[in-house]
Structure 1
Amino acid sequence: MFYRLSGIRHTSYPAARQLWPIAADRWQVGLVTALALAAPVLVSDLYLGSYVLPWLIWTAAALSLSLLMGLGGQLHFGFAAVMAIGAYSSIHLTRAGVPFEFALLGGGVAAAVIGTAFGAAALRVKGLYLVMATLAMQYLVDWVITNVPAISGGAQATLRTPEVSFLLLPLESLDARYYVALLWTVLMTLFFLNVKRTSFGRALAAIRDKDFAAAVIGVDPFRTKLMAFMTASFAGGVSGAILAFCYYGAVTPEQFGFNVSIQLVAMVLVGGLGSVIGGYFGAGFVLLVPIVLTNLIAGLAGAGWISVSQNLAAHLPLIFYGGMIIGFLLFEPLGLAKIYDNIRKYFLVWPFRHSGS
């Protein structure tokens, strides 16, 4: 019999503070890490560059936003603008001769400065007013990027990324770009897992649950929220820079529009607020499910199983995709991460009867 909790005694604090105290979880993490490292060998270049690579980058972006929305409870509907700042800043820095490693940090710092400036003004309000403030940031950044040729080259211009190297490794091959994206996603995952165990993470949780009560016990709500905006903006700026260099290869203003911000919010909500594995699930759901549905409907229509017009066939995946999101919000508001957690907890004590209670 396989008992996943067998041998867990909780006899020392270091053992209890482990990220994965259960042996089966450590085996799962090791297996996933091995598969991620071997992905360029196991997966064709088409799937690696079209599915796995963007999934990793958008997972890092979703984790950045989840740090603000999930842990801090602060709504942000302009996170694509934060990523745009990081992308454009890093491109201009590399064109000026700055090494790519420092350009990534520079893009994150630029996004953190501007994101914190907007956060300082936005955090005087709450709820829907905060949503409107972050929307104002989105549209203002979009307008500046589009109408200032020194930044983007113009409304219809495409700003190409220069050839760079990361730690003396040229980013010309798909494998090199994949490993850079994988490294950043792993760093974001470890940061997210550990920040919840720090005083900053506990202060964020207190602010999220009740900011007035947090202020009573000594937590500064404004300072803590501002630090959350700064941290999330920095991570989002670096994610935007990696998206530009490792996936797009060129950036345009349309790539960071309001619809991208909505997709990021959907990743966080569908995956699960404040959940690390929810970031992976949410990014995969938002990115891959529409593609799978499109191919499935096209295949069924080609085989004669369904008879739909070309216009309806193009919109059916979006209809199913929206219906699935509504279903998650109705039946499992905590997202895919909660569904995974329910299954995991069931097998923790299976096959005993109280595992179903």
Structure 2
Amino acid sequence: MFYRLSGVHHTRYASARQLWPLPADRWQVAVVFVLAAAAPLYMSDLYLSSYMLPWLVWSAATLALTLLMGVAGQLHFGFGAVMAIGAYTSIHLTQAGVPFEIALLAAGLISAFIGCLFGAAALRVKGLYLVMATLAMQFLVDWVIINVKAISGGAVATLQTPAVEFLWLPIDTVAARYYVALLWVVIVTLWMLNIKRTSFGRALVAVRDKDFAAAVIGVNIFKYKLLAFFTSSFLGGVTGAILAFCFYRAVTPQQFSFDISIQLVAMVLVGGLGSVIGAFLGAGFVLLAPIVLLNIVAPLVESGWLPVSSSLMAHIPLMIYGAMIIGFLLFEPLGLAKIYDNARKYFLVWPFRHTQS
């Protein structure tokens, strides 16, 4: 069987510290990457722009929030505002003639700066009190964007994204925008996979598990909590800019409302708190499950197998979707990533009956 630990001998530190020590894991990663890179060749522009592109962008946003909530243990219910700052910053800078690459960097830095201002509350409070501080950020940023016309143009105004180039190549096609999003999500994924192998990541985990105990052993709580908010907000700001330019192509204040922040938290929790693969699974579930359920329910209603009104039909997929989320939280609180990990460990010892501890 190809999925075995036999033949994997940790005799060198380099091999023991590999991200994917099993050859089967490396092959899976390679196959997934090849399929993702070749997606424009075998997918239509409709599927590419409606499913793959938003999934990649929201997976990057979920990874950014996972760094803060899953690795550092700091709650954040205003991440939609962080992405909004990045989106509006990048649009205004590119309209002023700033290159897109510099606009992305500036969007991340400005989002990180503002995120740190509100994240400073984590130095004094935690838990529900920190949630209130991040909620204040969400509502304050929403109010500023809506009421300051120099930023958004007004509550019902739409801000168009200008035509830009990335690395001297125009991103005016669906395939080009898809590759920009793919490049960014690969960068964020590699960052998240390696962060726990660094002193920065281990310090964040220590702060998450018991901050005062971490302070006793010499971890600077002030420094690492601010760094967690700075790094997560930077990644969220750049992701918001890519979301605006590669998917929305035009932004309104309603696209970054409080509902978006709640959806991002749901993606993190359903996927698996602190898990990299869970960010992809959670984002895919929250984005695609309602669409799939609607495509299943609609033919049943039209054929007469499910005699309900049209108004109720629109709500049935959302009801099933909500029940599925509750089911995940009840039967597998660690999320979809844990279900994947259980299946993987099963095949590591199959067909033997014993399991790994």
Q: Above 0.5 in TM-score?
A: yes
Alpha-carbon distance between aligned partners in 1 of 2:311 and 2:28, rounded to the nearest angstrom: 43
Partner of 1:277: 277
Contact 1:164-1:170 within 8 A present in 2 as well: yes
Alignment identity in percent?
Answer: 73
Alpha-carbon distance between aligned partners in 2 of 1:71 and 1:122, rounded to the nearest angstrom: 15
Alpha-carbon distance between aligned partners in 1 of 2:316 and 2:254, rounded to the nearest angstrom: 24
Alpha-carbon distance between aligned partners in 2 of 1:264 and 1:224, rounded to the nearest angstrom: 23
Partner of 2:355: 355
Matches within 5 A, 1:201-280: 201-280=201-280
Q: Which AA in structure 2 matches 1:168?
A: W
Q: Which AA in structure 2 matches 1:53?
A: L
Q: Which AA in structure 2 matches 1:52?
A: M
Q: Secondary structure at the match of 1:190?
A: helix
Alpha-carbon distance between aligned partners in 1 of 2:346 and 2:243, rounded to the nearest angstrom: 38
Matches within 5 A, 1:186-197: 186-197=186-197
Alpha-carbon distance between aligned partners in 2 of 1:200 and 1:232, rounded to the nearest angstrom: 13
Partner of 2:80: 80
Alpha-carbon distance between aligned partners in 2 of 1:278 and 1:182, rounded to the nearest angstrom: 17
Measured against aligned partners, the alpha-carbon deviations of 1:202-225 in whole angstroms (never above 9, x if no partner) come to 011111111111111111112111
Q: Which AA in structure 1 matches 2:210?
A: K
What TM-score do you get using the length of structure 1 for normalisation?
A: 0.99
Post-superposition offset of 1:102:
0.6
Matches within 5 A, 1:135-150: 135-150=135-150
Contact 1:123-1:130 within 8 A present in 2 as well: no
Q: Which AA in structure 2 matches 1:30?
A: A
Partner of 2:38: 38
Post-superposition offset of 1:299:
1.2
Alpha-carbon distance between aligned partners in 2 of 1:121 and 1:268, rounded to the nearest angstrom: 22
Q: Secondary structure at the match of 1:25?
A: helix
Unaligned runs of at least 5 residues, structure 1: none
Alpha-carbon distance between aligned partners in 1 of 2:12 and 2:351, rounded to the nearest angstrom: 28
Alpha-carbon distance between aligned partners in 2 of 1:144 and 1:79, rounded to the nearest angstrom: 16
Q: Secondary structure at the match of 1:254?
A: helix
| RMSD, aligned CA | 0.9
Alpha-carbon distance between aligned partners in 1 of 2:305 and 2:27, rounded to the nearest angstrom: 43
The alignment covers a number of residue pairs equal to 357
Identify the range of structure 1 (32-41 vs 294-303) with the bigger mean alpha-carbon deviation: 294-303
Partner of 1:119: 119
Partner of 1:92: 92
Contact 2:146-2:154 within 8 A present in 1 as well: yes
Post-superposition offset of 1:3:
4.4
Measured against aligned partners, the alpha-carbon deviations of 1:251-274 in whole angstroms (never above 9, x if no partner) come to 000000000000000000000011
Partner of 1:180: 180
Contact 2:121-2:130 within 8 A present in 1 as well: no
Partner of 1:58: 58
Alpha-carbon distance between aligned partners in 2 of 1:92 and 1:29, rounded to the nearest angstrom: 37
Q: Which AA in structure 1 matches 2:296?
A: L
Alpha-carbon distance between aligned partners in 1 of 2:3 and 2:53, rounded to the nearest angstrom: 35
Alpha-carbon distance between aligned partners in 2 of 1:214 and 1:41, rounded to the nearest angstrom: 50
Q: Secondary structure at the match of 2:244?
A: helix
Post-superposition offset of 1:356:
7.2
Post-superposition offset of 1:353:
1.9
Alpha-carbon distance between aligned partners in 2 of 1:196 and 1:299, rounded to the nearest angstrom: 47
Post-superposition offset of 1:348:
1.1
Alpha-carbon distance between aligned partners in 1 of 2:8 and 2:16, rounded to the nearest angstrom: 9
Alpha-carbon distance between aligned partners in 2 of 1:96 and 1:356, rounded to the nearest angstrom: 58
Alpha-carbon distance between aligned partners in 1 of 2:223 and 2:207, rounded to the nearest angstrom: 11
Q: Which AA in structure 1 matches 2:337?
A: A
Contact 2:122-2:225 within 8 A present in 1 as well: no
Matched, 1:314 2:323: no
What TM-score do you get using the length of structure 2 for normalisation?
A: 0.99
Q: Secondary structure at the match of 1:66?
A: helix
Unaligned runs of at least 5 residues, structure 2: none
